DNA sequence: GCGCAAAATGTTAGCGCTATCATTTATGGG
DNA sequence: CCCATAAATGATAGCGCTAACATTTTGCGC
């Protein structure tokens, strides 16, 4: 930077200002400096800048996985908004493990991220403590809680599952099974299971443990799980899967076995992944504002990073049941 | 850090050493310091550390997208290896746009990443210049080139497509269409198209432009594209899709329309995405060492970051044709 | 207990930038 | 043309850490 300054015949602080606050520099000077920067091939050192300014212009986002494209839209939404405001988004994946999440949070805090976005509301006590002490904006997304660390932006996974179960009942299905995720450390899938059970209770249908299967989220497991479910409870007339991945795997397994969907067994999913509408039969599911969560998270962070008190600490973005052919 | 040092009754450099090179500190002192760290809730400032040490213990990885789970395994492979060696992986997505890639490269260089991993071998001239001048290890992955910026680790997309086309011919198919990606800025899909054409030439089959459709990689486009292809060239007996996403979309469309696969039309894909083996019919495809690419990239980077000259600058990890039911 | 090498710890300077305040230069009204 | 004010630029210090070297302590053979 000193080289650039000399070449442009100004002091280094003017170079710094040309980069950070060009409106404070006379256009003529600015052009000189910009020319010198190009000539030197100067690449600003943001590590030094972050240290001096005590801010990194960096926001960390932690999602459980990127193997499943579920969170990709949300990350895109966050990125689109924040990059437009000069922030850089760093992505980490926790593999649905709160210990891994904790170590990511530490890593990002050590690198002085200006804000942090987590997926879900289940975190280790250490994670929560670290974030409360960090004094930076924190968003928990994809689920709601009355007592967020700082902000919660998402939708009620409980209500979504409850409504879908009630919807299945309204279509005449009574023996409704549940294909759930592994609930440990996954509050979204846990709330979805709770929603399913709550709906059954409202309907006066007894919950039966062997109508429930819990399995990791991947396509083959969806197939395995529905086969297991129907062999345990052959009289089921519908299955609600806590994730489209499982629902799709289940439909494909039914196709392979020649079981007609929905006449033998109705299948509903959740998340509205793009593949669902391509299957035969097309998948009934719950649409979630995946990209919207991202943009709203971004907007709130920008507000807070500008020092404004955020308008709302808890934002419910809702969901929508999409009835297609599989129910 | 000064607080920690005082509390532990040592100098700050000892605290630093306890964190960086604990083997240089007496166990007793180490325990004191660790206790003091815990007591203070001290979080090391790696921004300052990076500035002082002139290294960030950070590796940047740029992939085209995370919406398609294709690259997720590779990223996981890189991450698994590098985290084990104390490096942190930062992920960026370029959306198949070399200008976006360029700005990501700048952003990562400004943050002084210790190494950089790019997907593919097509980059803007500025990107290449920046990276050559940066003096850090650079890997281009998922494709090969005789003249990499620094290292290339992947497989020959050309050969993979050529072999698959020849394979289709060996099964008796002669009128083979091609479902390609958008070749602009995507060297992998471009090489795959070239491989398809080279195979046709070897077979003495004339390439026909209306047996080729190029489309963005998503499931619905696979369906649209195969319908378009068969309406333009109804006599096709096979289609080779440059990506499983398209092949899967195509098979689902055939299922919807009641077109039997492979008896009416055979369909082959490439990438071996997990969904392919769940479809009816199961998808014939090319298996690619997705995770393996990641680990090999990681290994080579570690070597280089330790200052060793890398064993090889170009690594061909190969591929494998997986014949299933769709051909 | 002495001397010496090795191990452990400390001192100092400086990484490259920006915040803060100081200074210089332009602007414009009387 | 002067002075008050604003705009533009500069000097200086310091962000929190580690590299490099300096010093002290320990261990050990004799």
The DSSP result for A216-252, as a single string, is: -SSHHHHHHHHHHHHHH-TT--EEEESSHHHHHHHHH
Is B10 among the domain residues? yes
Amino acid B29 CA to nucleotide C8 C1' distance, rounded Å: 10
Which residues of A spanning 165-224 put their CB closer than 7 angstroms to strand C? none
- Residue A308 scores a pLDDT above 90: no
Taking contacts as CB-CB distances below 8 angstroms, the residues of chain A near B43 are 106, 109-110, 130, 134
Q: Do B106 and A43 touch (CB under 8 A)?
A: yes
* A12 and A120 inside one domain: no
Residue A323 lies in a domain: no
CA of A207 to C1' of D7 (A): 74
Clarify whether residues B247 and B165 are in a common domain: yes
Of the candidates A43, A47, A91, which has its C-beta nearest B56's C-beta?
Answer: A47
Whole-number pLDDT of residue A1: 84
Asked if the Cβ of residue B11 lies within 7 A of any atom of strand C, the reply is yes
- Which nucleotides of chain C are near protein (any atom < 7 Å from a CB)? 7-20
**DSSP letters spanning B267-327:** EE-SB--GGGGGSSSPPBEEE--HHHHHHHHHHHHHHHHTTPPPS-SEEE---EEE--S--
With 80 as the cut, is the pLDDT of residue A311 above it?
no
Nearest nucleotide relative to A17: CA against C1': C18
From the CA of A111 to the C1' of D23: give the distance in Å. Answer: 33
C-alpha to C-alpha distance for B132 and B136, rounded to whole angstroms:
8
At residue A68 the predicted structure's pLDDT band, cuts being 50, 70 and 90, is confident
| Binding residues for strand D (Cβ < 7 Å) | A 9-11, 13-14, 17, 24-26, 28-29, 48, 51-52, 54; B 1-2, 12-13, 16, 19-20, 44-45, 48-49, 51-53
- CB proximity A52–strand C (7 Å threshold): yes
Confidence label for B139 from pLDDT (cuts 50, 70 and 90): very high
Q: Residues A184, A282: one domain?
A: yes
Judgement on whether residues A274 and A173 belong to the same structural domain of the protein:
yes
**Looking at residue B107, what is its pLDDT?**
94
What would the mean pLDDT of B268-278 be, rounded to a whole number? 95
Query: A90: which DSSP letter?
Result: E
> If you measure CA to C1', which residue is closest to nucleotide D16?
B48
From the CA of A274, how many Å to the nearest CA of chain B?
8
Task: Identify whether residues B99 and B179 lie together within a single domain.
Answer: no
In angstroms and rounded to an integer, the radius of gyration of the C-alpha atoms of chain A is: 25
Q: Is residue B50 part of a domain?
A: no
Residue identified by tokens 């507000």 is: A303
Q: Are residues A33 and A146 in the same domain?
A: no
Nearest Cβ partner for A72 among B67, B75, B220: B67
Out of B43, B111, B249, name the one closest to residue A109 (CB). Answer: B43
Q: Which domain CATH number covers B69?
A: 3.40.50.2300
Residue B19 CA and nucleotide C2 C1' are separated, in Å, by 37
> What domain range is A192 assigned to?
157-287
Q: Do A76 and B91 touch (CB under 8 A)?
A: no
B293-314 pLDDT per residue, tens: 999 999 999 999 988 877 789 9
**CA nearest to A71 within chain B:** B67
Q: Which helix (H) or strand (E) holds A62?
A: strand A58-63
Contact B67 A67 (CB under 8 A): no
Task: Answer yes or no: is B47 CB < 7 A from strand C.
Answer: no
H helix intervals, B59-184: 72-84, 98-110, 125-134, 157-170
Residue B285 forms beta bridges with which residues?
A: B322
Q: Which of residues 21-40 of B touch strand C (CB under 7 A)?
A: 24-26, 28-29
d(CA A241, CA A243): 5
Which of B111, B129, B222 should be substituted to probe chain A, the one whose Cβ sees the most A Cβ atoms within 10 Å?
Answer: B111
Q: Which nucleotides of D are covered by protein (CB under 7 A)?
A: 7-20
Are A11 and A121 part of one and the same domain?
no
Shared domain check, B61 and B36: no
B137 CA → D16 C1’, Å: 28
Q: Which among B71, B63, B125 has a CA at the least distance from the CA of B94?
A: B63
Q: What is d(CA B299, CA A299) in angstroms, rounded to the nearest whole number?
A: 39
* Beta-bridge partners for B151: B139
Give DSSP secondary structure letters for A37-90.
HHHHT----HHHHHHHHT--SEEEEEES-SSSGGGHHHHHHHHHHHHHTT-EEE
Tell me the two tokens of residue A67. Answer: 């193997």
Which pLDDT does position B307 carry in this prediction? 84
Pick B46's closest partner by Cβ from A45, A111, A277: A111
Note whether residue B164 is domain-resident: yes
Rounded to whole angstroms, the Cα distance separating A88 from B172 reads 52
Residue A170 lies in a domain: yes
Q: Is residue B73 part of a domain?
A: yes
Distance from CA of B173 to the nearest CA of A (A): 26
pLDDT at B38: 94
Average pLDDT over residues A14-36: 92
Residues A201 and A299 reside in one and the same domain: no
Instruction: Tell me whether strands A285-287 and A320-322 are parallel, antiparallel or unpaired.
Output: antiparallel
- A214 burial via Cβ count (<10 Å: 0-12, 13-18, 19+): middle
Residue A72 burial by Cβ neighbours in a 10 Å radius (0-12, 13-18, 19+)? buried
Taken as a whole, chain A contains a residue count of 327
What mean pLDDT do residues B282-295 have?
Answer: 98
> pLDDT for A253-305, tens place per residue?
999 999 999 999 999 999 999 999 999 999 999 999 999 999 999 999 999 99
- Between chain A and chain B, the number of residue pairs with CB atoms below 8 A apart is 106
Q: From A69, which residue of chain B is nearest by alpha-carbon distance?
A: B67
D23 C1' to B40 CA distance, Å: 29
Residue A151 lies in a domain: yes
Q: Which of residues 251 to 290 on A have a Cβ less than 7 angstroms from any strand C atom? A: none
Residue B95: other Cβ atoms inside 10 A: 14
Counted domains in chain A: 3
Give the model confidence (pLDDT) of B176-229 as tens digits: 999 999 988 899 999 999 999 999 999 999 999 999 999 999 999 999 999 999
8 Å CB contact between A66 and A72? yes
Q: What is the per-residue pLDDT for A69?
A: 85
CB contact under 8 A, B67 and A73: yes
Contact B45, B74 (CB under 8 A): no
Query: Do B193 and B115 share a structural domain?
Result: no
Confirm whether B322 is domain-assigned. no
Does A309 score more than 80 pLDDT? Answer: no
Average pLDDT, chain A: 95
How far away is chain B from the Cα of A59, in angstroms, using its nearest Cα? 12
Are both B189 and B133 inside the same structural domain?
no
CB neighbourhood size of A114 (10 A): 20
A236 and A118 in one domain?
no
Residue A132 CA, nucleotide C19 C1', distance (Å): 27
């Amino acid at each position: 930077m000193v080289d650039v300054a000399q070449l442009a015949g100004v002091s280094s602080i003017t170079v710094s200002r040309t980069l950070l606050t060009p409106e404070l520099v006379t256009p003529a000077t600015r052009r000189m400096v910009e020319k010198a920067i190009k000539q030197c091939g100067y690449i600003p050192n943001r590590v030094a800048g972050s240290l001096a300014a005590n801010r990194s212009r960096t926001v960390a986002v932690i999602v459980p996985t990127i193997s499943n494209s579920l969170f990709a839209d949300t990350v895109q939404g966050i990125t689109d908004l924040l990059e437009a405001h000069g922030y850089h988004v760093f992505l980490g994946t926790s593999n649905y493990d709160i210990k891994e999440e904790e170590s990511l949070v530490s890593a990002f805090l050590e690198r002085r991220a200006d804000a942090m976005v987590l997926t879900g509301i289940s975190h280790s006590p250490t994670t929560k403590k670290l974030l409360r002490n960090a004094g930076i904006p924190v968003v928990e997304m994809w689920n709601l809680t009355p007592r967020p660390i700082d902000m919660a932006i998402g939708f009620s996974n409980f209500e979504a599952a409850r409504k879908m179960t009630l919807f299945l009942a309204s279509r005449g299905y009574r023996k409704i099974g549940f294909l759930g995720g592994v609930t440990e450390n996954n509050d979204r899938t846990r709330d979805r299971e709770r929603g399913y059970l709550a709906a059954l209770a409202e309907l006066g249908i007894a919950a039966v443990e062997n109508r429930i299967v819990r399995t990791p989220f991947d396509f083959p497991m969806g197939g395995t799980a529905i086969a297991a479910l129907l062999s345990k409870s052959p009289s089921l007339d519908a299955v609600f899967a806590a994730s489209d991945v499982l629902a799709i795997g289940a439909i494909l397994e039914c196709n392979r076995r020649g079981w007609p969907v929905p006449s033998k067994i109705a299948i509903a999913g959740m998340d509205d992944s793009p593949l669902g509408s391509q299957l035969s039969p097309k998948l009934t599911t719950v649409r979630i504002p995946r990209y919207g969560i991202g943009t709203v998270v971004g907007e709130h962070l920008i507000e807070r990073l500008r020092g404004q008190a955020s308008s709302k600490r808890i934002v419910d973005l809702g969901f929508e049941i999409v009835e297609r052919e599989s129910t």
